[in-house]
Amino acid sequence: MLSPERLALPDYEYLAQRHVLTYMEDAVCQLLENREDISQYGIARFFTEYFNSVCQGTHILFREFSFVQATPHNRVSFLRAFWRCFRTVGKNGDLLTMKEYHCLLQLLCPDFPLELTQKAARIVLMDDAMDCLMSFSDFLFAFQIQFYYSEFLDSVAAIYEDLLSGKNPNTVIVPTSSSGQHRQRPALGEAGMLEGVEASLFYQCLENLCDRHKYSCPPPALVKEALSNVQRLTFYGFLMALSKHHGINQAPGALPDKGDLMHDPAMDEELERLLAQVPGLVNSITASPEASCLPSRTPPRVGSPWRPLHHSRKVDGESDGSTEETDESET
């Protein structure tokens, strides 16, 4: 049965909204790159498995950043993959630095830009040094805001700068560059940054921005709720408020509630099934408490079977390094 949303939209609008052309182009590129392997199975089976991978969210694993950030569904899939693969960090109570979180991101996306990781860390750390430790949950929700709403936040930064300088925010040109080339944000050390701007005026500008912005935006009603108890705010105070707001965290549909962040029964069941297929591995894991981190490295192997073989070898080579980063625990 077709959804009401599907029935209400013309075919071309629905396909554009779901970025079907993006996936078709990517599927054809993979088909051409791997045509010798695919010829053994057939083109029909390839397209079936490719779009099954898209639906399951595994299609973004080990892909280039330009593809990972290409659609809202890809961003949600990447956020969910990062959470599921490395939730052991939070489960063990480990605290990591920004560079260590960036290494984890690069395990899933080798060319993931450092700038995005730095901006996500700045939401958590505010005016603390960038080498300070962060909990998994704090970083994850800040990273979700920064990554999923990246273009929107670049536009917000422009509006904030204009409000600080007394300019009319309505004259701001909305940035349209890709996530890899972001507008420079206000420096935390600026005097104006410490004083902030009037919250009500800032929200009015954001409301107008959401109406005309072509990228994903947080629900305006939830943004208004997040700012309802403040008179003035700074730019990073605004980002912190977004990352701490339950409704805004749930809006993309990528992550569970904070209370359920360390629980993923479906993944645990799948990992147990995979581990049971490896002779002698289950007994060694049961006998060694340190091995409790190993399952978190299994999910990235469940990728599209049509990716070039060097991706599989890459995961094997990088898994050992990430184990050391998540073995230490806090309280």
Q: What is the pLDDT of residue 320?
A: 43
Q: What is the pLDDT of residue 313?
A: 37
Q: How far apart are CA 152 and CA 144, in angstroms?
A: 13
Longest dimension (CA), the chain: 68
Q: What is the pLDDT of residue 143?
A: 98
CA 44 to chain centre: 31
Q: What is the pLDDT of residue 152?
A: 94
Q: What is the pLDDT of residue 259?
A: 86
Where in the chain are the domains? 8-121
In sequence order, the 6+-apart residues with CB closer than 8 A to the CB of 132 are 97, 125
Q: How far apart are CA 86 and CA 193, in angstroms?
A: 34
User: For each of the chain's 331 residues, which pLDDT tens digit applies?
Assistant: 445 555 566 776 777 778 999 999 999 999 999 888 888 889 999 999 999 999 999 999 999 999 999 999 999 999 999 999 999 888 888 999 999 999 999 999 999 999 999 999 999 998 778 889 999 999 999 999 999 999 999 999 999 999 998 887 665 444 444 444 455 555 544 444 447 899 999 999 998 898 877 678 999 999 999 998 899 999 999 999 999 999 999 999 999 998 888 888 877 787 777 777 777 655 544 444 444 444 443 333 333 434 443 343 333 444 444 444 444 444 4
Q: What is the pLDDT of residue 263?
A: 82
Q: What is the pLDDT of residue 16?
A: 78
Q: What is the pLDDT of residue 269?
A: 80
- Provide the whole-model pTM: 0.74
Burial letters for 130-139: b for 16+ Cβ neighbours within 10 Å, e otherwise? eeeebebbbb
Sign, CA dihedral 19-24-25-29, equals positive
Which residue in 69, 56, 136, 148 sits closest to 108, CA to CA? 69
Helices marked H in 190-298: 191-195, 199-212, 220-226, 235-244, 246-250, 265-276, 281-287
For residue 13, count CB atoms less than 10 angstroms from its CB and return exposed for 0-12, middle for 13-18, buried for 19 or more.
exposed
Q: What is the pLDDT of residue 3?
A: 56
Q: What is the pLDDT of residue 255?
A: 95
φ, ψ (nearest 5 deg) of residue 198: -70, 125
Are the CB atoms for 97 and 123 separated by under 8 Å? no
